[in-house]
Amino acid sequence: MSDVFDPATRSAVMRRVKGRDTGPERTMRRLLTRLGARYRLQRADLPGKPDIVMPGRRLAIFVHGCFWHGHACARGARVPKQNAAYWTAKIERNRLRDSVNLAALEAGGWRVETVWECEMRDAAALEARVKVWL
């Protein structure tokens, strides 16, 4: 079976990609809840609208998909076969926007942590990392 879709099918696939309440976000929220952390979701008044915010700790957490934000892992380094120029430019814009939002949050006195989709595979390491933040 080919990995290449016709444009109509590709468009339908991309429309189904969610911007919030993704699997990795839900996994992160379950971990935080289990550790007793209280948090807020999608604070639109903060730069970048962080996925998870702990106002009392001044902590903003972004849960990034490796492909969408150009992570340096196997999934994030993959370049699509179709419309490669568009996707390369889009991912670069996402990375630039992420760095601008990170700088704005840090300038506002927030601690910022980024959790990558690929880090969800090692639950023990992720939990240890989150405990350090808390």
Q: Could you tell me which residues come within 8 angstroms of residue 88 by beta carbon, excluding any fewer than 6 positions away?
A: 79
Confidence bin at 83 (pLDDT 50/70/90)? confident
Beta strands (DSSP E) in the chain are 40-41, 52-54, 59-64, 111-116
Q: In this structure, which amino acid lies at residue 69?
A: H
Residue 18 is predicted with a pLDDT of 65
Mean pLDDT score across all residues of the chain: 89
Expressed in angstroms, the distance from the first to the final Cα of the chain is: 46
Q: Which two tokens stand for residue 116?
A: 């990558």
Secondary structure class of 49 (helix, strand, coil): coil
Provide the pLDDT confidence category of residue 1 given band limits of 50, 70 and 90: very low
Indicate whether 5 pLDDT > 80.
no
